Structure 1
C-alpha cells in the first residue's frame, strides 16, 4: 500500500511542482490552481460566479486540507486517504500511542521504529502550502477588501492548518510565504505563534462586525462543510483554537499564554459550550467526503488500536472503548505497540478502529476545550467560572456524551483503577509488564499540581481520539500521559527512546529548492534537524 502511496506522491509532486519557491507562481495563476487543486466532479469557480461567491471554492479547498481528506468514490483525485495516512496516521497517531501500525514498510524500518521516511515526514509541510496557503493567498488577493468576511474565514483556516504544521516541524516560512524571492527564510516558532494570535484577532473582529450588520447572513453556506456558513460558530472555533495555542506555549511564554487563554474564554462569543459546537469535516451538500481512517483501517488494514490506549481504556474499565474500537479476533480488545518488529498477519487481528465512511473527521471538540479550561483553572487563570475539578468532570462527561458512553458519574468516582500492563497477543516479548502510570480517575483537590495535570491530560488524551497529532503535541508539552516507549529504535541515536520523538525533519524538497532558507530554519531550531530536537514550546 505504501508503495502505491509513494508512487502517488511522486506523481503528485511532479504535477504540482510544490516547492515553496513555486508558491508565488501557484497563487498568481488562478487557472492553473483550479486545474490542479479542484476536484473536476465538483462545481467550478465559473459555475459559482452566478451568486457572486465564486471564491467559495477556495474555502472548500482549504477545509479539505487542514486534515487531508478525499471525496467518496474512486479515481485519481481521491488521494486524500493516502495523504492522511502519511501526514497524520504514520506520524502523530502512532507517536501518541493512540493507534498502532500493522505495516512492514521498508522492511519494518520506518516511522514506527524511528527511521523517519522523508517522503512521509515531509508530506504535511508541503501539503500545508499547496493545499491551504495557495488557496488562502488567492482569497487574499481577490476579495480581502470586497468580501472581508470571506478573507477572515480564510485566516482562521490558515491558522488551523499551520498550527498543526509548526507543531510538527517548528520554524517554517510563514510571514514570508508566497514571496517570489530566490530564498524564503524561515520564521521562528515564537514569531509564528505571535502571528497566529494577531490573525485570529483580526478575523474575529471582522466576523463580529459582519454579524452586527448581517445577523442572519451566511454567505458561504453552500461551501462551508464545517459550520454551514455560521460565522458565530467560526468565532467560537477561533477562540477555542486560541485557547489551545495559548496552552501549547505555557512553558515557553507563560504571560502570553495566560493573556490569550483568558481572552479566548472571556470573549463575548466565548469558546465551545456544547458538543454541538464541535468542529469536524464531513459530507455536506455536494461535498461527499469520507473519513480516511475508514479506508486505512478497513481497506488497507494498516492501523489498529494502540497498545498504550489499551492500557488506559482497559485499566479504567472505560466504556468509550467500544465507541473507539472493534473487538479483536483474539477476543476482547487488543492493541499494537509502536516500535516493534511487526508480524502483519498476527497484528492485523487486533482491534480495528470503529469508523465508517460517513464518520466526520474531527478538528476540535467541546471536551478538549473543557480540559484546556481545567488546566487553566489549575494554573490560576480566569477560565470563566468553575474550579479545575469541576471543569475536569465536565470534560469527562462531555466526552462520554459525545461517544454515547452513558452516565460518567460512576467512572468519575473511581479512585482505585489505574492503567494496566500490556500483554502482546502475538509476541510476548513485545509486552509491557508494568503499569505505565499509577494515576487514577477521581479528582483529588489535595493532589499535587503534577498529579492534577497528569489526570487532566490523560483524560484529554483519551477524549481527543482519533486526533493523534494533538495527542502527541500534548504529550511532548506535558509528558502526559505516559506512553509506552518503542522497543526497536532505528534512529541511529538521534531520537532518545525514553523521551521519545519530538518533531519531524524539514523536507528534502526544501533542502534542494530553498537551501539557504532551510538553513535559517535549522539555525532557529537550535539543534540538529532530526526527530530528537525539541520545539520552542517544548520547555518542560
Structure 2
C-alpha cells in the first residue's frame, strides 16, 4: 500500500485548526487527485518566522493597546473602544490568535518528527518548544485556566473538547517543558538561520532566552507558590545557560516604516490605519514621566500647544460620555510623530523580551535574597533602567545624574518601597508590550493605579483578566463551564488568575 500526505483540517483545541496529514490507499485515486505541484509539507523555518513575527506583534497590536494598554494606563481610548472603559467583551481574537500560533508550532513538530535526537532537527525542535512555552504562559496569564494537556499534538489523536487545565498545574508543567527544551539545545546543530527573526539561528542566544523565560515563570509565581518560585528563580540565576546579558541579547522582530510593509510596527499601524480614538496617551503615563523629569518623555510623547505653551498632556482613562464629549483632542499627546509614529525615522523593533526585563527580575530576586543579597538589588535596578533608556526610540546612552541620584535612589527605603520603584520603572519600560505590562502590573501591584470614572461593567474597577472566547463557550461548553465554576467572579473581568494575589 502506497501512502502520500495530503493536507486536511483538524482541531487543535476548540475553534482552532491544525494542518495534518491524511493518507490514501488507492493508487489511481492518488494520481487523479494529487496535482503535480501539490505541497505535502511545510518548511519549519517558514513556520517559525511567521510564529515569531505574529506572536511578537500581537503584544503591540490594536486590540492589546486598546484593552490591556488602557487598563495599565499607558493608553486612553475613547467611545469607539468600549473595553478601555471597563465594558466587558469576549477576547475571541486574542484567544484564536494564540491557538493559531500554537497550531503552527505543532506543525513544526510534525515536520521534524523523527529528528528529535538528530543534529538536523534536535535544536530546531527545542527552539520551537521554548517559544511554545512563551505563548502558553502569555495565554494562561491573560485568562487563567486554559486547554493545555489535552491539546492535539498529532494527526492520530484529535481532541475537539479539551479540558481546561488549572493554571496552578500549568505553571510547573511549563517549567518542566522549558527545562527539557533547554537540555536539547546543542551547539553545532542545524538551526533556522535568517528565518529566526530573534537570533538569526544562534543557539547560544536561544539558551539565554529560554533561561530568561524560566526566570520570568519563577517570578510570576512569587505570591502564589513561593517555594516553587524561589527554586525556579535561583536555578535560572545560576544556570550555565546564562541570561540575557545586554541589549544585544534582546528578543525582537525588526520592523519597517513603509505603510505597505508586512512588518510595519503595530503602533505605527494604528496611526496610519486606526481611529483617532486609539492614539492618545494616558495621563498616568505622561504625568509620571513629567514628575520624574524623565528624558524619555519628549521622545515618547508628542507635545501640544495650549495658550501658546508647549506641554505634554495625557487623556484620563475610562472617562464618561460627558467627559469625552468635552475633550479637545488637539490638546492631548499621542506617541511622538518623529519616533513611534514616524514614516521616515528608523523603525522601532517590536520586543518579546529584553535585557531590561531580566535586570528588573534580578533586582526583585535580590530583595528577596533569592540567589543574591539585598545590597545587589540597586545595581540590578539601575542596570535595568539604563538598558531601558538605551532602547529605540530613546537611544539614551546614560542616565542624568539627578535622575539616578533622586528618582532611582534606594536610600532609606523599605523593601516594599524599593519594589514599588522597580515595578514602576518596569511599567514605563513595558510601554508597547501591553500583555506583559498587564501581567506585571497585576503581579506586583505597581504602580498603584486609580480607576477611571466610568463604571463600565466592573463597577469602576480595573479588570484583572480577559474573558474567554465565546466560541469556546459554545463548542466546548462542558469544559468551559467547569473552568468558569472555578473562577471567583465567573467569566468576568474581575476574577483573578491563580498567581494574581496583590
Q: 1:266 aligns with which of 221, 231, 238?
A: 238
For residues 38 and 51 of structure 2, the distance between their equivalents in structure 1, rounded to whole angstroms, comes to: 15
Residue equivalent to 1:322:
298
| Residue of structure 1 equivalent to 2:68 | 92
Which residue of 83, 101, 107 corresponds with 1:111? Answer: 83
Contact kept? 1:225, 1:282, Cα under 8 Å: yes
Distance 1:164 1:230 in 2: 24
Give the Å deviation of 1:283. Answer: 4.4
CA deviations 1:271-294 (Å, max 9, x no partner) are 11111111111249xx95111110
Matched, 1:195 2:173: yes
Mapped pair 1:509 → 2:485: no
Query: What does residue 6 of structure 1 align with?
Result: none
Aligned equivalents of 2:149 and 2:485: distance in 1?
Answer: 17
Unaligned runs of 5+ in 2: 1-8, 24-36, 116-120
- SS of the equivalent of 1:486 reads coil
SS in 2 for 1:319: coil
Alpha-carbon separation, structure 2, partners of 1:283 and 1:458: 27
- Where does residue 6 of structure 2 map in the other structure? none
| CA shift for structure 1 position 250 | 0.3
Listed as ranges, the matches of 1:237-252 within 5 Å are: 237-252=209-224
Match of 2:102 among 106, 122, 133: 133
> What is residue 5 of structure 2 aligned with on the other side?
none
Instruction: Identify the residue that residue 41 of structure 1 maps to in structure 2.
Output: none
CA contact (8 A) 2:167 2:498 kept: yes
Structure 1 residue 68, shift from structure 2 partner: 4.0
Quote the Cα distance in structure 1 between the aligned partners of 2:350 and 2:38: 26
Which of 155, 161, 169 is matched with 2:129 structurally? 155
In the alignment, what sits opposite 2:493? Answer: 531
Alignment partner, residue 28 of structure 2: none
**What's the TM-score, normalizing by structure 1?**
0.77
Deviations 1:105-126 (A, max 9, x none): 2xx6x101111233xx232111
Within 1, Cα distance between the matches of 2:475 and 2:448? 39
SS at match of 1:489: coil
* Change in 2 beyond 3 A, CA 1:343/1:162: farther
Mapping for residues 421-432 of structure 1, pairs under 5 Å: none
Q: Take 1:345 and 1:490, find their aligned partners in 2: how far apart are those partners?
A: 19
Question: Alpha-carbon deviations, 1:343-381, whole Å to 9, x = none?
Answer: 497336522224146321111111121111000000111
Alignment-derived partner of residue 67 in structure 1: 56
Q: Which residue of 2 aligns with 1:26?
A: 18
* Counterparts in 2 of 1:59 and 1:406: CA distance versus 1, 3 Å: closer
Once residues 401 and 264 of structure 2 are traced to their aligned partners in structure 1, the CA distance between those partners, rounded to angstroms, is: 35
The question of whether the paired residues in 2 share the 8 Å contact of 1:92 and 1:470 is answered with no
8 Å CA contact retained: 2:108, 2:128? yes
CA displacement at 1:468 relative to structure 2: 2.4
2:354 maps to 1:376: no
Q: For residues 153-192 of structure 1, what are the structure 2 equivalents within 5 Å?
A: 153-178=127-152, 180-192=158-170
Contact 2:145 2:167 in 1 (8 A): yes
What residue is the counterpart of 1:143 in the other structure?
Answer: 112
Change (3 A) 1:20 1:194: same
CA contact (8 A) 1:226 1:280 kept: yes
Q: 1:412 to 1:189 in 2, by over 3 A?
A: same
**Cα distance, 1:60–1:408 mapped onto 2, change above 3 Å:** same
The DSSP-based 3-state class of the residue aligned with 1:21 is coil
Tell whether the 8 Å contact from 2:249 to 2:355 is kept in structure 1 after alignment.
yes
| Equivalent residues in 2 for 1:198-209, closer than 5 Å | 198-207=176-185
What is the aligned partner in structure 2 of residue 388 from structure 1? 377
RMSD: 2.8
Task: After superposition, give the CA deviation of every residue in 1:179-232 in whole Å (9 maximum; x if it has no partner).
Answer: 62342110011111112111111111111xx21xx1xx5531131111111111
In structure 1, the partner of 2:349 is 360
The 1:144/1:262 distance shift into structure 2, 3 A limit, reads farther
Aligned partners of 1:386 and 1:476: how far apart in 2?
26
Residue ranges of structure 1 left out of the alignment (5+ in a row): 1-15, 32-43, 70-79, 416-439
1:409 deviates by: 4.7
Deviations 1:501-538 (A, max 9, x none): 10011110011111012112213434411000111001
Deviates more, 1:370-379 or 1:472-481: 472-481
Whether the 8 Å contact between 2:57 and 2:350 is mirrored in structure 1 is: no
C-alpha distance in 1 between matches for 2:22 and 2:104: 9
- How many residue pairs match? The answer is 451
User: Scaled by the length of structure 2, what TM-score is found?
Assistant: 0.83
Q: How far 1:29 moved relative to its partner? A: 5.1
User: 1:437-480, CA deviations, whole angstroms, 9 ceiling, x for partnerless residues?
Assistant: xxx53222x32221111011111111222212222212211211
Could you report, residue by residue, the CA deviation over 1:40-91 in whole angstroms, capped at 9, with x for unpaired residues? xxxx9969x8xxx92211112211332346xxxxxxxxxx99xx211x1122
